[in-house]
């Protein structure tokens, strides 16, 4: 079942975030991921979001999403995003009724 890495945040350091983006992009193809959405001005319609930037990346399944996130190549750059932004990220399955 497909799984999605979803991140929403505010970018506080655009230069450091640009370094992250340049390094993170190539890791997606290497892990069979598809960038579904990248919106620097998403609009919250319920609740309080951490920021206007939303990223959605599709993977074949949760295991592949976690393998990408924990891979050496992504871990080499993710610290830049964490330092440059405030927000959150989750991995969500396409259909998971719980249990």
Residue pLDDT, tens place only, 44-85: 999 999 999 999 999 999 999 999 999 999 999 999 999 999
Residue 33 has pLDDT above 90, yes or no: yes
Per-chain mean pLDDT for the chain: 94
Q: How far is CA 80 from CA 20, 45, 46, 53, 63, in A?
A: 5, 29, 29, 16, 24
Q: Judge whether 22 lies within some domain.
A: yes
The CATH number covering residue 16 comes to 3.30.70.100
Q: Judge whether 58 lies within some domain.
A: no
**Rg of the chain on CA atoms, in Å:** 13
pLDDT, greater one: 61 or 95:
61
Residue range(s) defining the domain that contains residue 36: 3-53+72-93
């Amino acid at each position: 079942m497909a799984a999605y890495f979803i991140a929403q945040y505010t970018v506080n350091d655009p230069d450091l975030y640009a370094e992250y983006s340049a390094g993170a992009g190539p890791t997606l193809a290497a892990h069979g991921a598809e960038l579904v959405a990248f919106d620097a001005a998403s609009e919250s319609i319920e609740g309080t979001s951490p920021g206007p930037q939303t990223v959605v990346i599709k993977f074949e399944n949760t295991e592949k999403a976690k393998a990408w996130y924990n891979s050496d190549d992504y871990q080499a750059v993710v610290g830049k995003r964490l330092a440059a932004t405030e927000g959150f990220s989750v991995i969500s399955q396409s259909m998971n009724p719980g249990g």
